[in-house]
A = this chain, B = another copy of it.
Amino acid sequence: MTGPSKPSDRASIRRTNLGLVLRLLRDSGPRSRARIAADTGLPRPTITNLIAELVELGLVEEGESERDGSVGRPGLSVAIDGRSICGVGLEINVDYLAAVALTLRGDVVFERRIAVDVRAAGAEAVLDAAAALIREADAAVAAQGARIVGAALAAPGNVDITTGTVAFASNIDWRDIPALDALRARLGRDAPPLRLENDAKLGAVAEYLVASASDIHDLIYVTGETGVGGGIITGGQLMRGARGFAGEIGHMPLAPGPDGHPCACGRRGCWETMVGLGALLRHAADADDPVHDPSLDVESRLADLRSRADAGDERTLAALARVAEDLSVGLALLVDVLNPRAVVLGGYFAVFAEYLLGPVREGVARRVMAADSGGCEVLPSTLGFTAPARGGAFLALDAVYQDPSGVAARP
């Protein structure tokens, strides 16, 4: 603990308190100055000064008056404004790039997805396209009189967030790609502050923003794609682990031995061979069925399978039942270890939520050691495949919530 010395404790306390008030308004909604004073424990005059500064920074606005249920003069309600402040999230997935720009209060002001065969295109071309997407987002945001205060890249693999390098992403065949330096070189002086994070972790962050409205602050996000990714939120914080690898849940050895299906990692019976997209397809259709054809868009193949399930096709329904059972084995293990308040199922699991949720909930409840699944609910993602890009936009905005005064400092 040898942090840099700060200019003065007064300035540091002011920054801390600005962030405290702004996060209160984000997490608990609009409220009067009197209520903010009560919620934060700070005196009224201090709150008045802080709100004035946040208004000047363009981060909060005064809304309709409210009575707070008390006698006396009604107080003006204060809410997050931040229409002029945006963060951008950019996801690199196997077959697309997606960008989302969010205002400080969570409104989507730009959203775009382009089809790219990322593995075939190669890293240089993909980073060209990514830089072009950020420029496009910047122009769209500027056209609405707002500005971007940061951007975060979501990558499907192990990342080194300190150097901005994608260390290893097997599904797109990237290894040691200095992604942030490459983007900075392409964007030049226009580059906003850039960050990098694993896609499932950012998906977890995005789902947490939804779940926190229901007072859920401990959750596991589990996304079913070719691989199975995970992100863990504990006490409202993203768990990264000692080197940022936390959440590697796809290779839990849940069907070891000769009967286990071979995994891309070289072992047998990893959880993702039981519940990844490949497992569903394997159970649901013969090898020559078009749902296996990798040249077709994955969402259309999922839609095809979904229609079969909706039509009552027995093999498809049996495949989903099998996946649900295997999903509940791994989820119950994770719920025992982490005791989350919720598990959120994303990726293809969300597409088939109607078929998976019931048996998964039953299987988890049957297996978890604590009564009532330890209080854990199994929920479908409501964000679908946009979760990582949204999480990236939030990560980019998070710096504002940590230090609102930093907004003024940037050009």
Contacts and interface: CB of A to CB of B under 8 A. Distances in A.
A407 interface: no
Nearest to A342: B242
B5 A41 contact: yes
A38 to B, nearest CB: 5
A391 interface: no
Given A46-B9, A254-B256, A336 B248 contact: yes
Interface string A361-393: 000000101100011100000000000000000
Interface of A: 1-6, 8-9, 12-13, 24, 27-28, 37-43, 46, 158, 218, 230, 232, 234-235, 237, 239-249, 251-257, 265, 329, 333-334, 336-341, 367, 369-370, 374-376
Given A247-B339, A337-B337, 8 more contacts: A5-B37, A9-B43, A12-B41, A234-B241, A239-B338, A245-B369, A247-B337, A254-B256
A240 B339 contact: yes
A253 B251 contact: no
Q: Quick one: copies of this chain in the complex?
A: 2
Contacts of A2: 38-39
A370 B117 CA distance: 26
A281 B3 CA distance: 51
Contacts of A265: 369
Point out which of A9, A340, A376 has the most chain B C-beta atoms below 10 A from its C-beta: A9
A24 B1 contact: yes
Contacts of A255: 256
A235 B246 CA distance: 12
B256 A336 contact: no
Contacts of A333: 252-253
Contacts of A8: 43
B242 A41 contact: no
Nearest to A259: B257
A239 B249 contact: no
A41 B6 contact: yes
A198 to B, nearest CB: 11
B230 A375 contact: no
Nearest to A219: B242
B9 A42 contact: yes
Task: Give the 5 A-B residue pairs with the shortest CB-CB distance, closest first.
Answer: A241-B339, A6-B41, A242-B341, A246-B339, A248-B336
A374 B8 CA distance: 39
Point out which of A13, A40, A253 has the most chain B C-beta atoms below 10 A from its C-beta: A253
Contacts of A218: 241-242
Contact of A242 (B1, B340, B369): B340
